[in-house]
Amino acid sequence: VNRLETSINLFNLKAFYAGRISSCGIHIEGGRIARIAKETNLPPADRRIDCGGHLVIPGLIDCHVHLRDLGFSYKEDFYTGTAAAAAGGFTSVLDMPNTSPPTDSPQRLAEKMALAQRKAIVNVGFHVAPPSDPADLSRMRLNGAFSCKFYLLKPMGNVEVRHPDVLRDYLRECRRAKMPATIHAEDGLVIERQLAASSSAITLKRFLQAHTPEAEYRSAKAVLETAGVGTKVHFCHITSCKALELIGRARRKMRISCEVTPHHLLLNDRELERIGPVALTVPPVRPEMERQRLLVACQRGSIDVLATDHAPHSLSEKLGEDYSKIAAGIAGLETALPLVLTLVKKGRLRLKPVIEMLTSKPAQVFGIRNKGVLRPGADADITVVDTRRRFKIRASEFKSKAKHSPFDGWSCIGRPIMTFVAGRLVMDHGEMMANPGEGAILRPK
């Protein structure tokens, strides 16, 4: 690994440091934060960077992204996906295994790591899919997998984890391997049956009648009843109050965490109807009442993590009449921070918890070492944010290959202006400064 030899002083900034926002400077050495102190007390450095009085926060961590590549590199690849991350202020991302081929064996995990190592400009870690040989779970854990993803909507790879007995066996194996289980909670067997009963194209209305909050709740309940005490469970993109209450109750006896996405905090079903398939994602955005409840849950601290579920597809895959055939997923890396900062400006969320849900919390949940906080000794993964900057989201300017978004044209207040990975400036006012391969492969502690 090429370590950064030069030292840097970041000055003229307000840092989110030790739970407070205070004026100070940051001294970086060898790719790590060496000192945080009053500017006048910093040691001299080879390079000085003026942060313009802006807010400096730990580099954002997204524990749920689909960087695709391999057979889906027309949708996104490790370079474009991590460039989108850097543009959005993210310095570390955890990639999902529903690729072509799926990441479901030690061999395939190793191949993905090698490819990402050549192309990525921010740090990348990996979730894996259930392997045909359950014993491979512990091998993949040792080789650096952050979790095993259980996609309960449709089969991923060869293993049918939607059947309770199969799910039970794999969750047990996860516990043995000390591997967290990451869950897409939707009752896929029931949803499939409901959609198959229709002989004509699936309208949005029919799609939403199948992908209900109930289906999310049933699926989450089945997982919690199946996973024994001691299995660490993380629920992806939770969308409804009922599932959240279930998770809240289970927290008392199990190690559980959950995430919410910016789109479920900002869009409702009427918005989906107006915007159309570009806003289609699974689980779908919900009625306004659920959206309001999710915001309240964030305010109360009942949600651990904000994750984008960055799920890029080509525009042609996002078009069509039959909602069961339209590719579900929204590219979120380049809009997440501006969107939630705008919610903060409007008083719907508070700044400190939002930053924590994007930094220290995902680091804690998945055991990402030395990241997610600004402190001496931590990796110099740092994001500089202009919290007053007003701008319009322009999907055509995304670094992601998916140049469409339900938020296209939305006005935001707040934007990342510089992103540092291990002390290297990778994004400067929207410009990509890094070469492919400068990101590191993450492994759990």
Bridge partners of 183? 150, 235
Question: What is the smallest separation between the CB atom of 363 and Zn ion, expressed in angstroms?
Answer: 19
Interface with Zn ion by CB under 5 A: which range of 39-47, 115-123, 158-166, 381-389? Answer: 39-47
Choice between 300 and 325, CB closer to Zn ion: 325
54 lines the binding site for ligand NCD (CB under 6 A): no
Interface with Zn ion by CB under 5 A: which range of 6-14, 320-328, 331-339, 394-402? Answer: 6-14
Per partner kind, with CB cut-offs from 5 to 8 A, the member of ligand NCD, Zn ion, none near residue 98 is ligand NCD
Nearest to 266 by CA among 186, 352, 207, 341: 341
66 lines the binding site for ligand NCD (CB under 6 A): yes
Which tokens belong to 306? 């904000």
Choice between 17 and 323, CB closer to ligand NCD: 323
Which tokens belong to 397? 């300017």
Per partner kind, with CB cut-offs from 5 to 8 A, the member of Zn ion, ligand NCD, none near residue 7 is Zn ion
Interface with Zn ion by CB under 5 A: which range of 1-9, 84-92, 100-108, 426-434? Answer: 1-9
Tell me the number of residues near ligand NCD by CB under 6 A: 9
Q: Rounded CA gap, 286 and 146, in Å?
A: 29
98 lines the binding site for ligand NCD (CB under 6 A): yes
At 351, is the secondary structure helix, strand, or coil?
helix
52 lines the binding site for Zn ion (CB under 5 A): no
187 lines the binding site for Zn ion (CB under 5 A): no
Choice between 175 and 218, CB closer to ligand NCD: 218
Q: How far are the Cα atoms of 198, 285, 311, 340, 432 from residue 307, in angstroms, in the given order? A: 34, 15, 11, 11, 23
Per partner kind, with CB cut-offs from 5 to 8 A, the member of ligand NCD, Zn ion, none near residue 43 is Zn ion
81 lines the binding site for ligand NCD (CB under 6 A): no
165: burial class by Cβ within 10 Å (0-12, 13-18, 19+)? exposed
Q: How far are the Cα atoms of 204, 239, 343, 353, 414 from residue 346, in angstroms, in the given order? A: 31, 21, 5, 15, 12
Among the listed residues 43, 71, 164, 409, the single contact to Zn ion using CB under 5 A: 43
Q: For 408-438, b where at least 16 C-beta lie within 10 A, e where not — what string?
A: bebebbbbbbbbbbbbbbbbeeeebbbebeb
Residues 173 to 202 in contact with ligand NCD, rule: CB under 6 A: 184
Tell me the number of residues near Zn ion by CB under 5 A: 6
Among the listed residues 92, 239, 281, 383, the single contact to ligand NCD using CB under 6 A: 281
Per partner kind, with CB cut-offs from 5 to 8 A, the member of Zn ion, ligand NCD, none near residue 29 is Zn ion
Q: Rounded CA gap, 96 and 332, in Å?
A: 14
Q: Rounded CA gap, 369 and 52, in Å?
A: 29
184 lines the binding site for Zn ion (CB under 5 A): yes
328 lines the binding site for ligand NCD (CB under 6 A): yes
Distance of CA 190 to the CA centre of its chain: 27
Q: Rounded CA gap, 80 and 67, in Å?
A: 8
Cα three-residue angle 212-214-219, rounded to 5 degrees: 105
Q: What are φ and ψ of residue 325, in 5° steps?
A: -105, -15
Per partner kind, with CB cut-offs from 5 to 8 A, the member of Zn ion, ligand NCD, none near residue 281 is ligand NCD
Question: What is the smallest separation between the CB atom of 150 and Zn ion, expressed in angstroms?
Answer: 10
Q: Give yes or no for a cis peptide into 283 (omega within 30° of 0).
A: yes
Choice between 344 and 407, CB closer to Zn ion: 407
**Using N-to-C axis directions, what is the helix angle for 213-226 and 241-250, rounded to 10°?**
20
Listed in order, strand segments (DSSP E) in 143-226 are 145-151, 181-184
Rg (alpha carbons) of the chain, rounded to whole number? 21
Question: What is the smallest separation between the CB atom of 99 and ligand NCD, expressed in angstroms?
Answer: 9
Among 104, 187, 309, 381, which one carries the catalytic annotation?
Answer: 309
Residues 218 to 237 in contact with Zn ion, rule: CB under 5 A: 236
Question: What is the smallest separation between the CB atom of 240 and Zn ion, expressed in angstroms?
Answer: 14
Per partner kind, with CB cut-offs from 5 to 8 A, the member of ligand NCD, Zn ion, none near residue 328 is ligand NCD
Residue 309 is a catalytic residue: yes
Per partner kind, with CB cut-offs from 5 to 8 A, the member of Zn ion, ligand NCD, none near residue 54 is none
Q: Which residues bind ligand NCD (CB under 6 A)?
A: 66, 98, 184, 281-282, 309, 311, 328-329
Q: Which residues are catalytic?
A: 309
Q: Enumerate binding residues for Zn ion (CB under 5 A).
A: 7, 29, 43, 184, 236, 309
